[in-house]
Every structure is written in structure tokens, then in C-alpha cells.
Amino acid sequence: MHSFIVIGLNHSKTPQAPYPAAIYDLEAVILAIMSDPTLPIDRTRTAIGGSFSGATLAFAVVQLQSIRQHVGFQAAFSSCGLLELGIAASAKAKTRPYKEELSIARSGSADSLNMALPPIQWSYTPEGTDMTDPLYAPFYAPANALPPHVCLVAAELDSLAHDSWRMACRLAERQIPSMNEPVGRPRSGDGKALKLDDERFSFERVTLRSSGERSSIKWLLVPDVLHGFDLRTPEALLGDESTTEDALEKTKQMMALLGQWLRNTVWSIGSPAWPGDGS
């Protein structure tokens, strides 16, 4: 769709290799890739991203001095990212809407991650870890520790969405929503289109940093979809046909927007150098 080179990055897994092992695995892999002259990579146009725990690691490794100095990713993006690891899963579950009128797989009254998050976090977290360390929980990373361009994508029916929303608002210097203000809307929308005319679902801010470097923060909340909607998940795990079709269509739209953001805002390929402040 966009003629990008995409490289998958492997790393050691929990519980055998808890924090921060995987972060330093990725550091070594990234440095090896970027130092290989045989790979057809434009090193002036690079980005890193991940989904769920992959976002945890992507937003952590970009903070390392070696990556900042020798790679300098222009952008980082997260989809359904696990960016904050200290708030209880039961509290996170209260920050998303529950919509009984949706198809069967999406109309449940309990969040799918409510039972899964505690053991995932336990397997990753050594005793005594500072839960607000930005390397451990990128939610707490200051803007100057991250690449100049950040895109946070979340699923409306996901207990992790609120963390991404608050992080996006903080980075964009907008009012940060409270934990009592759920993401999205209480009722389902019409059709399979993204909601780009409502700042609860979408905003983008482009600014200049004090160094003169252009930066941006993009927020996208995909309506009426579950955690992991954009993954190549077996149909049985997505649920009924309506849920699957809706997720596939919105994934196509999301990927198109992400590609446009990378090409136009981050790398200025075939677009004006200054797209303006869309906040």
C-alpha cells in the first residue's frame, strides 16, 4: 500500500526473561540491522511500532541512548499498547464503554483483558520494579525521551485505550482526561467508518520543538472494536462474522491513515513541509 520495508524484531520472552531483558535484546537487534550495509533501508526515514506488549518494548527501546544516538527513529506508533502497567486491571476495565447493542462478541459486560493482564504483568515485572519508570512503563516517558513523532491507536472496547488517550493528550499538551471519563461514546456508531470529526476519537497536533525540530502527536480511537482488532487473529477468536468484518474494514482504514501520517507528517514525502496544526 505504501511501499515501506517492514522488519519484525524478535526478543526473549517472559517469564524466562522478565524486564528489562527484551528491551536490550531489541537494542542489539536494531543496532545490528541498522549497521548492515546490505539492507536497502533509508536510514533517514525510520519508525518503530508495536501492538500490546510490543508497544511496551518499542516505546522503551527508543529511549535508550544508543538507539537515540545511532538510529534516531523519527516516529513511534502503538496499537492497543500496554503502556501503563501499574493501574489495576479492574480499574482499567471501568474506563471503556460496554455496548449491549453490538454483535455478540462485542457486547459482553466484562473486558477480555481483565483476567489476562495480572499474570502478564506478573511475568514481566521483577520484585521492586519502579512502576513509574518510563523504561518499564512508557506511559510516563517525557516527550523529549521519545521520537519527535508519536501515533497512538486504541480500540474503543479495550481497557487499555484510556492509558493511550491520556498519554496522547499529555504529549499534545491538551487537558488530560480523568479516570472517571470513559473513552469514546456510550452507544455504538453507524457503519464501519472511523470517527475522524470528533476529537474524542481523532486529533493530530504538529508543532516545533525548542530545538527547531518538527514534531507531532496523533491520536486515533477506533470505534466499536475490541483489543487486537488489527491483528491477524483466527476468526474464532474475533467472534461472529459481523465483528470480523467490522474489524477488517476498520483495520484497512487505520493502516491507510497510519501510512499517510508517516509519509506526509513524519517524512514529508510528496507533501508540504509544514502540514499545519490540526489539534
Q: What is the pLDDT of residues 230-259, one digit of tens each?
A: 987 755 556 678 888 889 999 999 999 999
pTM above 0.95, yes or no: no
**Residue 234 domain-assigned (yes or no):** yes
Please, what is the Cα angle at 6 between 67 and 40, to 5 degrees?
80
Report yes or no: 46 and 19 within 8 Å, Cβ to Cβ.
no
- Of 70-74, 86-90, 260-264, 267-271, the one with minimum mean pLDDT is 267-271
**Residue 276 domain-assigned (yes or no):** no
Residue 182 belongs to domain with CATH number:
3.40.50
**Residue 145 domain-assigned (yes or no):** yes
**Which segments within 27-118 are labelled E, that is strand?**
47-51, 75-79
The three-class DSSP label of residue 70 is helix
Give the whole-angstrom CA distance, residue 272 versus residue 276.
9
Quick check: 279 pLDDT over 60? no
**Residue 246 domain-assigned (yes or no):** yes
**Residue 10 domain-assigned (yes or no):** no
**Residue 142 domain-assigned (yes or no):** yes
Give the whole-angstrom CA distance, residue 26 versus residue 83.
17
Which residue has cell 507531532? 216
Tens digit of each residue's pLDDT (9 = 90 or more) over 54-93: 999 999 999 999 999 999 999 999 999 999 999 999 999 9
Mean local confidence (pLDDT), 44-60:
98
> Which percentage of the chain shows pLDDT scores above 70?
93
- Of 34-48, 167-181, 219-233, the one with minimum mean pLDDT is 219-233
How many domains is the chain built from?
1
Find the domain containing 260 and state its range.
20-265
Counting runs of H as helices and runs of E as strands, what totals does the chain give? Answer: 8, 5
**Residue 1 domain-assigned (yes or no):** no
Within 8 A by CB and 6+ apart from 279, the residues are: 172, 174, 203, 204, 205
Give the pLDDT score at 244: 86
**Residue 47 domain-assigned (yes or no):** yes
Tens digit of each residue's pLDDT (9 = 90 or more) over 142-193: 999 999 999 999 999 999 999 999 999 999 999 999 999 999 999 998 888 9
For the chain, give the mean pLDDT: 92
Report yes or no: 225 and 174 within 8 Å, Cβ to Cβ.
no
